[in-house]
Every structure is written in structure tokens, then in C-alpha cells.
Chains A and B, each alone.
Chain A
């Protein structure tokens, strides 16, 4: 293993932390060494100066839901390529979902993914452990072994599949209490969604595509918040997509239950109308919903009923999308467009300020995943995990320009606001001038 060098000290000039008053930030040795006038005074000779006038600084983003596809589908994404995409999107930590091949259901596999993340060094990779062996929904995986492994797994999910068996879900919720874990549920009642292709509604009837009814999500969310309350454990609901789920979550939170939830950027922006093209770029699970659902999801993210934005970054090779709708894979890329979509859907609409974005995309996801060192305030003494964003810039999304190995963005050709200019992971620039700068090698300051 190479001996890591210290990151170049960096003085960020005139940046607006959380969109507030402009100040200076001095990043030295992995931490924010000083802010304001003190930062300028303390800047060592040879420090890199970044003129960030007008830009917004946020704590490095934390994704609770990323598919890095390694091991098993390295043709779609690898830990290396996926974390490059993450850094370009402003992320300093991602949770790698367990539905790999082999499934991340043992200490061995989660440690492998964790180690690949450290070696890549573009952002911290926190493996998610499968709830059940092989994501088969039959018996519990060795959750404790994964929790105790070097990867220190705290989030467990069969994502891609629902833990539909009520007893198994109850046991999982109970069991993870021993190590402060959380079960992240992919809420999808399987019998109600057999062969489902898109949101069930007027459009599915017209397009002749099998419907994925909102009730299939809401029935599981309702059951699981009750189970979590009953056993006194933590439940996290993945990719909430319907107005009805929002209502159930609001009720559960009003009871004081330990329930959290995430929404994807695409569910905050896109609707089922896009399926009229039959272009599988818009095929995703859960499916794109109606405009009314989008409004409800935005409101829920704004008022905190939904705690976090999570990308559900789901790379697929070209041939799995370049086909007829029913044969196509479900999922879309998200890491490199998430912040722009949130700016467009939440900030530019006045629903959320930048402090709110920092909370929903960094602080709260870090807290849910029990990730230390991320989602921290941008003050002296804290880890230098941050992203600099030029909110006035805009861009046209081009799949060919993305760092992901896959091309399945639903935003091809779309104008989106905001641009990630720089990302710092423990003081080292992973992204500078909007381009990859350098990875942080394994072993530094864990």
C-alpha cells in the first residue's frame, strides 16, 4: 500500500457556506482549519487558492442509495467508475446497494466492496448489507457479521426486492437493534406488481403497459411503520414515490416513531407522461408517478417528512435499454445530476434553501447511515468534506459526457441549473474546475 501524502492546503475564497454570507475556508490536513479572516491569515505559503466568489459551499453529499454493480456487473459500473461519478456529483460518501452478484450478504463481500472503495479513493463507500441470504427473502443474512466487519455495515436492504414476508421483516427490524442498524425497505408488495411496467393509472391503461399501483408501495409502508413501532426499531423507506406513502410517513412521524425516508431526484422531477414515448430511459422501479405525486413528494421533502434525497443511481448497459419497454431493465443514472435536479425542483422553486439541501443531502443521510465525519457543519475543526457549487451556471446533460460506465440518464438533452465545481474529500480535491482532480488513496485519516 502506498503511503498517502498530505493533501495540498487549500484556501477557498469568498464562498457562501449553505448559501449564506460569503467567507473564506482554509482546508489543511483533512480538516477545515479556519474560516473568515483567520483562514486567510493562517493560509500557508503554497496553498492552493480557489476563487469561489458567488459559489455555494455545502457539506459533501451523502447518498444512501447507490448501485455500484461491483462485483458481478462490471460492464455496467465499477466501484472505481461509480465513485468517480459520485465525486463529480458532489458526493463524498455513498452507500453501495447489496444486489450485486454475488450478493453483499456476507462479511466477505461487504469487505470487498469497502476495500474497493478505499482503493479507488474518490469518495467513501459504505456497503449496504442484504437483509436476507441472496436477497431471496427466505432467511436472514448474517447481519451481525457484516456489522462487525471492517465495512461496519449499519444499513441493511434487499433493495430491488421487498422484504415482503411480515415475520422476516419483523425479525430483521428487531435484530439490527443490537448494533444500531437500520432496515431500508424497498416497499413493493410483490403480488400486486407482478409484471408491472409503469405507474398504474390512466396512462398505463392507454399505453397497454401493466400497472404498478401506488397501493403496492403504500401497503408495505403502512405495515412496516407499524412493525417498526411495535418492535421499537429503525425503519428507512427507500425511494418513496407516492402521495399516499407521504401521508403514512407523516402520520408515523407524528407518533414519534423512528421512521425515515428518502426520495430520488427523478421522482421529484419526472412524471409517468414520459412513458408515452415507450423509451426505456424512463423505465424505473418504483415507476415515475403522476404530477400530483411529484408535488406531494416535493412538499414532503421541504417539510422534512421525507428526510433525504437518495439517487438510486442504477447503471445499465446500453443493450438493456435499447430495446422494447417490457424487455428493458429498470433504473436510471443519478449521481452526476442529483444536485442539479434538486436545485431545479426544490431551490429554484423556493421550496428549500441551501441549508435545507445540505440537511437533506448530507446531514440527515449521514445520520441515518450512522456515517461519521460527513454531513458536518462547515466550521473550523470539522472534516474538510465539502462541495462547491456554481448555482448560476447551467448545463445541457449529455450521456456521453458522464463518468459513469453506463449511459442511461433520463435527462439526455435537458437543461439543468447548477454545476459542481469542486469536491473535497478530507481536504483533498477529488474534483476541481468541474473535472476529476485526484483520488484520496486508501488509508488516510479513517
Chain B
């Protein structure tokens, strides 16, 4: 297994399946009265969050605790940018605490890479979302959810059609999903206004479209991305929230365009009424709450595979 998980591209087909298969086994645990496994007893997992993210932090905390790891949560919001303690000094502090794994969320793209490659920490680094770069465990939990609904809970996503809609330009979720879902054989289409597709997207292993209605009939799952309100009128990426919602939001009418088996996903937190209507968010084919539950299992799998392989392993 790999030593760090920094990008969804770090996982090849075999490794990605191994994470998903392990997560499936661990999910079964959640139904037992005692949810804890002794696997990581005595290991220290640090949650290093430079940016607020209650759901991701709690999800990782729960995952580490269910594997019996000691969990330290370090909220260092804005520390580097605001010229407080630097990333390096924070990392050296964690190193002194003997962290076996550092789960890092940071507002700057590449910060987890810096931690992993600088020699400041010895432990495994897990990217829990960096700037507008990647969020690989989110992609893994999305893949896990897709597999349960579209592929019988086993194997890969060969030929499954996934449409990702919204602010791809600023979305780490979209980047990681484009990479991982393609690795798993899915056909990914990104739908966004042209201003919210990154330059160079034609080199990604995906199709792109500006037309949501035209894409929906040909999809097995649609994943709505959160649209940051400040990207709108003030940011100049689109004229208004209303127009965005009309052209790229999903509502009851657009649900009708989807095939009957298709599911609706959202990484959360949602802007109800902007990219997704309340009706769709609460629809029976919306799997948004299940995504959260699957997140814990997938993160358990990641921690288990990274840490159980790290002792005596020479693989980098």
C-alpha cells in the first residue's frame, strides 16, 4: 500500500478496489453493538485542520476511534496565512508528539504534499482537502456509494455514467472524483458554466458539457457540487444565484429527466435552493445522508491500510 494519500491519482485500480473492499468489510461493523476494533491500538492519529470542516473532521475522528487509535485534534485555523505559527513549526510539533498519521485539511493547495515531502513529519499524511486541489477520501466515499447503488457493492464502476455538476474550477471534490472514478472505469462528465471549468480540462480523463438538461438522460448518477455564494455576482463567475440555479441547479423537473435508477449525490454542505432544491435533497433517490455514513467506513479503511502497512514496510 502507499505511504501517503495526497491525491486520488495515488491509487491505481487495484489499490482503489482494496480500499473499497476493506471499507465494505468495516461497514458491516457499524451494525454491531460494539463498533470498535483494536487494530490501531497505541497508534496516534492527528487531525490537523487549518480550515473549518466539522463534518470531515468528525468523520475522520470517528474512523480513527473505531480503530482504537489515540486521536488528537489540532485546529490551527488560519495559522500560517495570518502569520502565526508556520506549517513547518506545526508539523514539527506533531512530530514531537509522535504522530503515526496526520490528517490535514488546509486552505492552500499542495499543503499536504509539503508536509509529506519536506521531511518535517515521519508519519503518513492523508489529504483531507487542500485548497482547490483534491479531497481523495471524499472521492473514495463517493465511489463506495456509487458502487453500492450501481454495481451491486462489488468490483469497479466499469461503464457507469457519472455527471458532476457545478463549480469544478474551485472544487477539490470534482478533481479527486474525476481521477478516481475514471481509474475505476466510470465515464465521468463534468457539467458547468464555461467560467467554472478549469483551463486545460480537456486533458482530464472526462467529458465536459455546458448543458445540464442534455446530460441528465444519459447518466446513472448526478453529483451536485456546492456553489460558493461569493463566486456569484461579486466573483463574476456567473451573473446571479437565480440564473445559476435555473441553468445548473437540480430540481423536480430535472429529476424527471434522469433515468429511473439514477441517484443524486452531494458532498455537503448543501445550499438548498441554489444547486439543489429541497425536494430533490430529500428525495428517496438522494443518497446524501448515506454518503456521510459511508465516509466513516472509507476513512477507517484508509487509516487501516496506510498504518497497518507502515510498520517494517519499505514501500514509499
- A residues near B (Cβ < 8 Å) are 197, 200-211, 213, 277-279, 319, 322-327
Contact = CB atoms under 8 A, between A and B. Distances in A.
Contacts of B87: 323-324, 327
A208 B174 CA distance: 11
Contacts of A327: 80-81, 87, 108
22 contacts: A202-B199, A203-B200, A204-B199, A205-B200, A205-B204, A206-B204, A208-B131, A208-B133, A208-B134, A208-B175, A209-B131, A211-B199, A278-B110, A322-B88, A323-B88, A323-B114, A324-B80, A324-B87, A324-B110, A326-B81, A327-B80, A327-B81
B113 interface: yes
A36 B86 CA distance: 60
A200 B200 CA distance: 8
Given A202-B203, A323-B88, A208 B132 contact: yes
Contacts of A201: 199-200
B71 interface: no
Given A201-B200, A205-B201, A211-B199, A324 B133 contact: no
Contacts of A200: 199
Contacts of B114: 278-279, 323-325
Contacts of B117: 277-279
B110 A323 contact: no
Nearest to B202: A202
Interface string B174-211: 01000000000000000000000011110110000000
- Taking each of B117, B198, B201, which has the highest tally of chain A beta carbons within 10 Å of its own beta carbon? B198
A205 B198 contact: yes
Nearest to A325: B110
A327 B85 CA distance: 12
B195 to A, nearest CB: 13
B106 interface: yes
Nearest to B178: A206
B199 A325 contact: no
B172 interface: yes
A277 B113 contact: yes
A325 B199 CA distance: 20
Contacts of A204: 198-200
Interface of B: 80-81, 86-88, 106-111, 113-114, 117-118, 130-134, 172, 175, 198-201, 203-204
Contacts of A203: 200
A324 B108 contact: yes
Nearest to A205: B198
B82 to A, nearest CB: 10
B86 A322 contact: yes
Nearest to B106: A324
Nearest to B111: A324
A278 B115 CA distance: 10
A202 B200 contact: yes
A210 B201 CA distance: 14
Contacts of B172: 208
- Taking each of B81, B109, B130, B133, which has the highest tally of chain A beta carbons within 10 Å of its own beta carbon? B109
A363 B86 CA distance: 45
A204 to B, nearest CB: 7
A212 B134 CA distance: 20
Given A201-B200, A208-B134, A277-B117, A325 B109 contact: yes
B76 to A, nearest CB: 12
A353 B201 CA distance: 41
Given A204-B200, A208-B132, 4 more contacts: A201-B200, A205-B200, A206-B175, A323-B86
Contacts of A210: 132
A252 to B, nearest CB: 27
Contacts of B199: 200-202, 204-205, 211, 213
Contacts of B198: 204-205
Nearest to A319: B86
Contacts of A325: 108-111, 114
